[in-house]
Structure 1
Amino acid sequence: MKNTIFKKLPIGKTGGGGLKRTLGAFELTMMGIGVIIGSGIFVITGVAAAEHAGPGLVFSFLLAGIACGCAALCYAELASSIPASGGAYTFAYAGLGEIFGWFIGWCLTLEYVVAMSAVAVGWSAYISNVLPVLGLELPQAILADPSSGGAINLPAAGIITIMALLQLKGSKESARLNNLLVAIKLTVILLFIVLVAGRIDPANYDPFLPFGWEGVCSGAAVVFFAYLGFDAIANSAEEVIDPQRNMPKGIIGSLVMATVLYIVVTFMLTGVTRYSSYAGVAAPVAFALNEAGIRWGAAMVSAGAIAGLTTGVLVFLGSESRLIYSMSRDGLLPPAFSRVSKNGVPTKAVACVWLMGCVLGGFLPIGTIAELCNMGTLWAFSLVSVTVIVLRVSRPELRRGFRVPVVPLVPLIAMVMCAFLALQLSAVTWKVFFIWTAVGMSIYFLYGRRHSFLR
């Protein structure tokens, strides 16, 4: 058994499953921005400033961006040398062995499905607030899950359904909608920056580090999760034109742009009004606009937030379906999930993700398990970093369109940062994660190991 579970996927045989190459560096960058800049910039910035770092939150975002940057460099190298669908799952399968590939795939399934469902619930909340303004009222029974006093969160299930139908049209069509929604979101953010730039009071920056550097570090642990999702770009490698060049550009470019925007918006927020005033504020951007006397700002922010959350649902759904497709193609999941339609889309994989998302988003209180998506991501980041080091030793001749500088230092920094952040998660999260892992390993040994094409 030892020889089978540690077998490595031949790198030369990855990919080639029928997905169409239609995406370029621009589409990848927009995809990354679409999934990174979402609820983080519209929700987390205010609370993190009030409770952790004050105006020094700009340093927290910079620190978190550097930590994610180390992991992003590792993703960029592996995506340029193993340009196959599946992302971190395929990287670990080829570099570390089948059991590690399955573990990362199972972790990422947790991340993508839970994150997609949570984003859909957030989308539903914004829509529920906007509809009364438009003169539309929906009954509570179809606006909340059973534990929140409703019967089903119909808007959450509805947006997942719409995005799934769009995915079935093909990756190019999905990318076009994503580009449009990201453009709306960026326009709203840039408009916010322009509107409040002349209303900044320098006195609000004193003190700049009210909680000291300890607050900056704890703030980094909080805002790190605002970056989650850039790794989803790697799952689309098999649909990218010239992936050796375009994958690194998309991954690194989207992360750099997101970091700059996070820092600028945070600087503006804490300059318009005192950081302490954001305590308990769930919509800091709208709050800042109101404080600046721009009353119509809340509607503008809602439009940007709805666009941002829509792109999150779209990208996470597409990423998870490609992950299931890759695992099925390798024999670790039933072969039906790897069948591709005439549009170059794994239809049954999309349907599977749609069903899981509708169940979670429609019937469960996602907030109680949202931390689990962070746990899955941190494990994926760590093993991707290990894979870079291993392949540099075992496969030095491998063609790499991009190379991580200062190996093994950069991958080791990524691993240390991930370990530190994982330790900040609650004991309950760790317990549920161990249960999830046990279920996944049971599926692997009962089905995946026996049906693996490498066996």
Structure 2
Amino acid sequence: MASHEIDGRGGNELKKRGCGCSKQDFLPEQSFQNWTSYFKALSETGPRLKDRLLTRSMDKVELHDMRARSGHEMKKTLYWWDLIWFGMGAVMGSGIFVLTGAATRLYSGPAIMISYAISGFAAMLAVMCYTEFCVELPVAGGSFTYLRVELGDLVAFIAAGNILFEYVVAGASVSRSWTSYLATLFNKSPNDFRIHVPSLPHDYNYLDPIAIVISAVICVAACLSVKGSSRFNSIATIIHLVVLAFIVIAGLTKADTENFSDFAPNGIRGILKASSIIFFAYVGFDGVATLGEETKKPSRDVPIGHDEVLLSNLLGQARYFTHIGRTHMAPPFLAKVNERTGTPLNASIVMTCINSVVALFTELEVLSNLLSLATLFIFSLVALALLVRRFYVRDETTGSQKDRMIAMLVLIVGSSIGNSVYWAVGNGGWVGHVVALLIWFGGTLGLQLLIKLQKKPKSWGVPLVPWLPSASFAINLFIMGSIDKDAFIRFGIWTLILVVYYVFIALHASYDAAHENTRTADVEEGQHGASTTNIEEEHEGTSTRNIEDGQHGTSTSNIEDGQQETSRTNDEGQQGGASTSNT
């Protein structure tokens, strides 16, 4: 066994490799070992899909079993001040410096301050939901983990795909914006530093090689050490703060109240449209959530970090990919943590390559719309998951309580979607919004009065449950109603691609991984405590219990107390008379 490791699904031996990759690094599951196995898995798509829809993971599985699949632990080197700097550093380049000007010029005008206030309030509600989850589940998966525990595999995967999409778009936005600022420094047009390819579609025909260089530099810093990245980020953020303070002070010296004469040129719709775009500036706590696994005291430091980084951006794309790889919904090759650096090296490199390709081709305005929609979608799901977590506990909540909870959630979700669509269509008056608000209020009140809270957080919890999570869900969806239809079309296409990938690949990979140890314990079905399963070896005329994983047709263990030094004969195609001792 020194030179081999057993995969636990039938004794197949996989050679350990010092370097290099093979098929087993990407599709090691039984369903993908050959075409026969794959077609057999496809024929079982219905039952497998039902299994994954009805199965929810458990806190202890995500905290221990999933993390063990990375091979090595991530190093706990971060404190609360590191989390603050990580969040603030992101927004300085991507939120305030990149999108504020475009949102002000095109939509809100001077009313951009109101747009920021609206987005900030929505982010404040969302950050509370994230903080409770992150304190309870300090793992690299972030919102993917939270949704997997509360809403199941399929919802978590769709969210995960959009999370990764969100991070790719965010990284591409920041990388591409560097070219714009460099051009401004030399008093040039940004396109002067890009390569024009007329044969490509509009918005994708100016290639940006500088963005690729920036992405590569950031990747190297992230791969070497998360603590080193934190130090570098802290210095850069301080410089950004000084520059921002200079801009504000210099601007105030030239202030003119006449500039506010047309305060909101596009009215309330322009203000909300700007809010939907600059929401990008408030999502740093999502990245902070993925750093819980590398934080020394997450129950103390994450709430502090979250409270201080509402103005923040994204950091943890590689950590998301790492945890998704742990579940086998993405290739497990991505789950590996480098032993020396304690960072997810493979996931970081893959995400950087994807970021670079997107940044090379795509214009910033296209990216910003896609980012806001994906972000709001994820935040809405996390708020909904928190309501489920507080009002439903498996094996404890009664059937009648569960039915009432589902009914109230249907009212909350339905009224919020209706209100958003009604605003997006824009043909009606205020009556429709009032009706939707009353239905939302009734659903939230029903949760409070008709259903007893089933779970209390161990450390930090969202106050005023169910009102704050419910309000977060409703406000996020309402802001989504201000995003243009083209972004929804792209979002829908991407989600459809995710569903296809899930049905043909991720479903079967995650199913095999989840049922890999069903002979000992199905940890995802909520069985608690140590338990073992009889594995009947189909010998001719005899059946014995084998408690050593991966051994087939060999000697069996005697589990009766007091019996020692006994032996059994293995008569399944091996040499007769061979016996082994069992203790």
User: What range is the shorter-chain TM-score in?
Assistant: 0.7 to 0.9
Pair 1:406-2:454 in alignment:
no
Asked if the contact 1:145–1:153 (Cα under 8 Å) also holds between the matched residues in 2, the reply is: no
Instruction: Using structure 1 for the length normalisation, give the TM-score.
Output: 0.78
In the TM superposition, what is the alpha-carbon distance from 1:213 to its structure 2 partner?
5.7
Asked if the contact 1:240–1:246 (Cα under 8 Å) also holds between the matched residues in 2, the reply is: yes
User: Structure 1 residues 322, 129: closer, same or farther in 2, change over 3 A?
Assistant: same
Give the one of 302, 317, 322 matched to 2:319. 322
1:113 alignment partner in structure 2: 168
Give the one of 238, 258, 266 matched to 2:293. 238
Give the one of 74, 77, 86 matched to 1:22. 77
2:483 alignment partner in structure 1: 425
In the TM superposition, what is the alpha-carbon distance from 1:335 to its structure 2 partner?
1.3
Q: For 2:266 and 2:159, how far apart are their aligned partners in 1? A: 36
In the TM superposition, what is the alpha-carbon distance from 1:150 to its structure 2 partner?
7.8
In the TM superposition, what is the alpha-carbon distance from 1:254 to its structure 2 partner?
0.9
Identity across matched positions, percent: 25
Asked if the contact 2:277–2:372 (Cα under 8 Å) also holds between the matched residues in 1, the reply is: no
Root-mean-square deviation (Å):
2.9
Asked if the contact 1:6–1:99 (Cα under 8 Å) also holds between the matched residues in 2, the reply is: no
2:96 alignment partner in structure 1: 41
* Secondary structure of the structure 1 residue equivalent to 2:140: coil
Instruction: Using structure 2 for the length normalisation, give the TM-score.
Output: 0.62
Q: Residue deviations 1:223-281, cap 9 Å, x none?
A: 334324431211111111111111121112111xx39xxxxxxxxxxxxxxxxxxxxxx
Give the one of 123, 138, 141 matched to 1:86. 141
Where do residues 48-197 of structure 1 align in structure 2 (5 Å cutoff)? Answer: 48-49=103-104, 52-130=107-185, 143-144=194-195, 146=197, 147=200, 152-197=207-252
In the TM superposition, what is the alpha-carbon distance from 1:77 to its structure 2 partner?
1.0
2:372 alignment partner in structure 1: 374
The unaligned stretches of length 5 or more in structure 2 are 1-47, 68-72, 394-453, 516-583
2:556 alignment partner in structure 1: none
Where do residues 275-354 of structure 1 align in structure 2 (5 Å cutoff)? Answer: 315-316=314-315, 319-341=316-338, 342-354=340-352
2:59 alignment partner in structure 1: 11
Bigger mean CA offset, 420-429 vs 72-81 = 420-429
* Secondary structure of the structure 2 residue equivalent to 1:425: coil
Q: For 1:203 and 1:425, how far apart are their aligned partners in 2? A: 30
In the TM superposition, what is the alpha-carbon distance from 1:340 to its structure 2 partner?
1.1
Asked if the contact 1:128–1:143 (Cα under 8 Å) also holds between the matched residues in 2, the reply is: no
Q: For 2:357 and 2:264, how far apart are their aligned partners in 1? A: 44
Asked if the contact 1:8–1:94 (Cα under 8 Å) also holds between the matched residues in 2, the reply is: yes
Asked if the contact 1:81–1:398 (Cα under 8 Å) also holds between the matched residues in 2, the reply is: no
In the TM superposition, what is the alpha-carbon distance from 1:426 to its structure 2 partner?
2.1
In the TM superposition, what is the alpha-carbon distance from 1:380 to its structure 2 partner?
0.5
In the TM superposition, what is the alpha-carbon distance from 1:405 to its structure 2 partner?
1.4
Q: For 2:148 and 2:303, how far apart are their aligned partners in 1? A: 20
In the TM superposition, what is the alpha-carbon distance from 1:60 to its structure 2 partner?
2.6
1:441 alignment partner in structure 2: 499
Give the one of 374, 391, 394 matched to 2:392. 394
In the TM superposition, what is the alpha-carbon distance from 1:105 to its structure 2 partner?
0.6
Q: Residue deviations 1:93-123, cap 9 Å, x none?
A: 0111111111111011110001211211111
Give the one of 357, 360, 380 matched to 1:359. 357
Q: For 1:107 and 1:3, how far apart are their aligned partners in 2? A: 23
Asked if the contact 1:333–1:448 (Cα under 8 Å) also holds between the matched residues in 2, the reply is: yes
In the TM superposition, what is the alpha-carbon distance from 1:215 to its structure 2 partner?
5.5
Bigger mean CA offset, 221-230 vs 402-411 = 221-230
* Amino acid paired to 1:450: H
Asked if the contact 2:277–2:368 (Cα under 8 Å) also holds between the matched residues in 1, the reply is: no
**Paired residue total:** 393
Q: For 1:76 and 1:211, how far apart are their aligned partners in 2? A: 35
* Secondary structure of the structure 1 residue equivalent to 2:334: helix
User: Structure 1 residues 126, 193: closer, same or farther in 2, change over 3 A?
Assistant: closer
Q: For 1:367 and 1:98, how far apart are their aligned partners in 2? A: 32
* Amino acid paired to 1:326: H
Q: Residue deviations 1:425-446, cap 9 Å, x none?
A: 2222222211111111222222
1:454 alignment partner in structure 2: 514
* Amino acid paired to 1:354: T
In the TM superposition, what is the alpha-carbon distance from 1:414 to its structure 2 partner?
1.3
Q: Residue deviations 1:330-354, cap 9 Å, x none?
A: 2211111111112111111111111
Asked if the contact 1:29–1:250 (Cα under 8 Å) also holds between the matched residues in 2, the reply is: yes
User: Structure 1 residues 323, 46: closer, same or farther in 2, change over 3 A?
Assistant: closer
* Amino acid paired to 2:63: G
Asked if the contact 1:322–1:346 (Cα under 8 Å) also holds between the matched residues in 2, the reply is: yes
User: Structure 1 residues 211, 426: closer, same or farther in 2, change over 3 A?
Assistant: closer
Asked if the contact 2:204–2:362 (Cα under 8 Å) also holds between the matched residues in 1, the reply is: no
Q: For 2:206 and 2:116, how far apart are their aligned partners in 1? A: 39
* Secondary structure of the structure 1 residue equivalent to 2:162: helix
In the TM superposition, what is the alpha-carbon distance from 1:214 to its structure 2 partner?
6.1
Asked if the contact 1:15–1:85 (Cα under 8 Å) also holds between the matched residues in 2, the reply is: no
Asked if the contact 1:35–1:230 (Cα under 8 Å) also holds between the matched residues in 2, the reply is: no
Q: For 2:152 and 2:286, how far apart are their aligned partners in 1? A: 20
In the TM superposition, what is the alpha-carbon distance from 1:54 to its structure 2 partner?
4.7
Of structures 1 and 2, the one scoring higher in RCO (CA 8 A, sep 6+) is: 1
Q: For 1:177 and 1:94, how far apart are their aligned partners in 2? A: 35
* Amino acid paired to 1:336: F
Q: For 2:491 and 2:159, how far apart are their aligned partners in 1? A: 13
Going by fraction, where is helix more abundant, 1 or 2? 1
Asked if the contact 1:145–1:363 (Cα under 8 Å) also holds between the matched residues in 2, the reply is: no
Asked if the contact 1:75–1:384 (Cα under 8 Å) also holds between the matched residues in 2, the reply is: yes
Asked if the contact 2:87–2:284 (Cα under 8 Å) also holds between the matched residues in 1, the reply is: yes
* Amino acid paired to 1:385: A
* Amino acid paired to 1:240: T
User: Structure 1 residues 339, 223: closer, same or farther in 2, change over 3 A?
Assistant: closer
User: Structure 1 residues 337, 211: closer, same or farther in 2, change over 3 A?
Assistant: closer
1:294 alignment partner in structure 2: none
Asked if the contact 2:191–2:206 (Cα under 8 Å) also holds between the matched residues in 1, the reply is: no
Asked if the contact 1:360–1:366 (Cα under 8 Å) also holds between the matched residues in 2, the reply is: no
